[in-house]
Structure 1
Amino acid sequence: MSVPATRSAASPGRVAEPLVDGWGRTIRDVRVSVTDVCNLRCTYCLPESGIAWLPKDERLDDDETVRLVRVLAGLGVSTVRVTGGEPLARAHLPALIERLDAVPGIEEISMTTNGVLLHRHADALVAAGVRRFNVSIDSVHQRRFAELTRRDVLPAVLKGLAALDPYRDRVQIKLNAVSLRGITEHEAVDLVGFARERDLQLRFIEVMPLDADGAWTEDHVLTGDEVREIIHARWPVEALPRERSSTARVWRFLDGGGHVGFVSSVTASFCGDCDRIRLTADGQLRTCLFAHDETDLRAALRGGASDDELVALIRGAVAAKQWGHEIHKPGFRPPARPMSAIGG
């Protein structure tokens, strides 16, 4: 569809051609990293010290972030997940989220957070429009949590979850736990028990080759199937149909105790119907978590690009979106950036 010369391709109310990649997948979701800074040093993600964060002037500001989301919404993107680093390390985040929630075409704002600062901001985040929270928690035992994150802050995370309790009728809350061989075998049952007591869905995520140290090997991966067997031995589960484009395969507890999910990115990828793209804190468009190529939207923005020019850049990048991560294929290379710099 050609774009009338008098209107921008991203003008509010305009119905644009869907944003479709070269494999026929329609893009509906954008993961927006608002900062690369994190207040934890999880062993599978970041080194304990020596981290150089992006200078402030290299990060997108609020106006730039909102503009790019508005352009993407004009192309049919309808859901935004706010990520980091730790997104709550960004100052005045609720104000930015309120603006993103007001963008025409955006139907849902969600957030992935480690929960450490959540108790300070829960009220403002819900008021701003966040409707789904994914809170990371790899252990419910304080000593083990501190060993994994190199920070003794589990009480703060629990306080953050408690701060969301008054909003349970308005927001969806899920827990994320990274599956690590040698650790999660001993943590899984207690984590699930914690989630069941609070009527929360827990999702186990296979550890991926996205650590800043580059030390990941497949030997570190405790697979989703292995974790499920551990859980099934305590609380029998049965599979539910997978929702299209979902990252998680969800299982139901046969005793009626809720659900548990498995994001098996390494052993059972969900690339075939992926509908996601990512915007890094420094304005790079990534069409896959494991992509090696990025499209510099920040340079285009600061160079005076029109919305139509931004649309052309975005469409070109999405058209070249890779089919999947191909972790198991010979020659696989992890991306140069760690997860904290890409956005979770």
Structure 2
Amino acid sequence: MTPYDASPAQGQPGLIDGFGRTVTYLRVSVTDRCDLRCVYCMAEHMTFLPKAEVLTLEELDRIASAFVRLGVKKLRITGGEPLVRKGVMGLFEGLSRHLQSGALSELTLTTNGTRLTEFAGRLADAGVKRINVSLDTLKPDLFRRLTRGGDLAKVVAGIEAAQAAGLKVKINAVALKDDNAEELPDLIRWAHGRGCDMTLIETMPMGEVEADRTDQYLSLKDVRRELESYWTLSDIPLSTGGPARYVEVAETGGRLGFITPLSHNFCEACNRVRLTCTGTLHTCLGQEDATDLRAVLRAGASDEDLIEAIRLGVDAKPKGHDFKIARAAAPAVARHMSTTGG
């Protein structure tokens, strides 16, 4: 893979949007495909992108390296499920040069955990220090239903393999009123008992799926209030670069994060942008803004042309999203989370 330059762009400021926010965090989707079909994320019968529309690993490296050159310090590889992408470890191993040079502070990923037993060691060797694993329940039958066929034991084995390889694991769970609301305390205890941080996420209105998210929406304000009726939660100033607000749970000794795009948005301090696997730059998860970086690349752009296109895209970053949960309302954005990048 060509080692694209990521030395700082000479005499140029970092990536600052039109509202003065500095972008230091890029989430890179490497595929829209996944080996699970979570009910709140995907339609049961998804139509996946043709290969020609998906960026090559070399193109993904080039764009990510341009962002690093512009001051991005954190890269998160996402999907779909990133570890189903053929050759994806070559991308991790290539991008690790930016960790070694000091240009990049962190290279990480979000995964469903199904392939960690195979890849955890190589991820650690590439300089990945911590990962997020999506896990909404510890009940095998419910897990199978929510993921439309997934095997909970495989994910748990993957988490164990990641920890054995020295990776710090954070568990992400989507709060679902009818499915896992009552189980959330047990899931938190389980995660903290294994030395994992835990983050709860409100369901988001993205893409057409069969389920009605109105029925499943659970405000994390209410969840926190319930947890505080029997646990001691203390706000802490922890920041991992993302939108979560963290507390420490005295009774479990672990940290718990809340991502609340609906009940309390986090737009005022947003430092993130997303690159889809098709090369579209989205500067807001909840808006339809888009910059086609694939077209720029495939038109023969120089590195400076690419940097200019990125700057223009980031400059147009909207002030915030307008997610709403309402019965029979259309999704805030038409694209699925699996296409956007988790």
1:144-171: CA deviations, max 9, x gaps? 1111111131000001011012234xx3
Residue 262 of structure 1 pairs with residue 278 of structure 2:
no
The one-letter code matched in structure 2 to 1:115 is G
Percent of matched pairs sharing the same residue = 40
Q: Secondary structure at the match of 1:186?
A: coil
Residue 85 of structure 1 pairs with residue 80 of structure 2:
yes
| Equivalent residue, structure 1, for 2:114 | 116
| Equivalent residue, structure 1, for 2:142 | 144
Aligned equivalents of 1:87, 1:306: Cα separation in 2: 28
Aligned equivalents of 2:90, 2:14: Cα separation in 1: 29
Residue 278 of structure 1 pairs with residue 274 of structure 2:
yes
TM-score, length basis structure 2: 0.91
Aligned equivalents of 1:332, 1:269: Cα separation in 2: 19
Aligned equivalents of 1:244, 1:131: Cα separation in 2: 13
Rate the CA distance shift 1:258–1:319 in 2: closer, same or farther, 3 A.
same
Rate the CA distance shift 1:212–1:272 in 2: closer, same or farther, 3 A.
same
2:57 pairs, out of 49, 62, 73, with 62
| Equivalent residue, structure 1, for 2:47 | 52
Residue 100 of structure 1 pairs with residue 95 of structure 2:
yes
1:172 Cα deviation after fit: 2.3
Aligned equivalents of 2:312, 2:150: Cα separation in 1: 45
Rate the CA distance shift 1:214–1:336 in 2: closer, same or farther, 3 A.
farther
Aligned equivalents of 1:115, 1:304: Cα separation in 2: 37
Further displaced range: 95-104 or 318-327: 95-104
The one-letter code matched in structure 2 to 1:190 is D
The one-letter code matched in structure 1 to 2:192 is R
| Equivalent residue, structure 1, for 2:29 | 33
Q: Contact 1:16–1:76 at 8 Å: present in 2 too?
A: no
Q: Secondary structure at the match of 1:102?
A: helix
1:307 Cα deviation after fit: 1.2
Further displaced range: 79-88 or 62-71: 62-71
| Equivalent residue, structure 2, for 1:125 | 123
Residue 291 of structure 1 pairs with residue 277 of structure 2:
no
TM-score, length basis structure 1: 0.91
Q: Secondary structure at the match of 2:60?
A: helix
Aligned equivalents of 1:214, 1:149: Cα separation in 2: 13
1:291 Cα deviation after fit: 2.3
1:300 Cα deviation after fit: 1.0
| Equivalent residue, structure 2, for 1:186 | 182
Please show how residues 145-160 of structure 1 align to structure 2 within 5 Å. 145-160=143-158
Aligned equivalents of 2:52, 2:10: Cα separation in 1: 32
Aligned equivalents of 2:235, 2:293: Cα separation in 1: 41
1:173 Cα deviation after fit: 1.2
1:103-153: CA deviations, max 9, x gaps? 362221010000011111111111112222000100011111111111131
Stretches of structure 1 that go unaligned for 5 or more consecutive residues are 1-7
Aligned equivalents of 2:69, 2:11: Cα separation in 1: 7
Stretches of structure 2 that go unaligned for 5 or more consecutive residues are none
Aligned equivalents of 1:139, 1:324: Cα separation in 2: 31
The one-letter code matched in structure 2 to 1:149 is T
Q: Secondary structure at the match of 1:311?
A: helix
Q: Secondary structure at the match of 1:185?
A: coil
Further displaced range: 180-189 or 84-93: 180-189
1:177-213: CA deviations, max 9, x gaps? 0011112222112101211211211111000001432
C-alpha RMSD of the superposition: 2.3
Rate the CA distance shift 1:304–1:214 in 2: closer, same or farther, 3 A.
farther
The one-letter code matched in structure 1 to 2:189 is G
Rate the CA distance shift 1:112–1:332 in 2: closer, same or farther, 3 A.
same
1:328 Cα deviation after fit: 4.4
Further displaced range: 214-223 or 184-193: 214-223
1:54 Cα deviation after fit: 1.1
The one-letter code matched in structure 2 to 1:269 is N
Aligned equivalents of 1:244, 1:24: Cα separation in 2: 21
Q: Secondary structure at the match of 1:238?
A: strand
Further displaced range: 57-66 or 229-238: 229-238
Q: Contact 2:96–2:127 at 8 Å: present in 1 too?
A: yes
Q: Contact 1:60–1:282 at 8 Å: present in 2 too?
A: yes
Residue 173 of structure 1 pairs with residue 169 of structure 2:
yes
2:339 pairs, out of 334, 338, 341, with 341
Q: Contact 2:214–2:325 at 8 Å: present in 1 too?
A: no
Q: Contact 2:204–2:323 at 8 Å: present in 1 too?
A: no
Q: Contact 1:208–1:216 at 8 Å: present in 2 too?
A: no
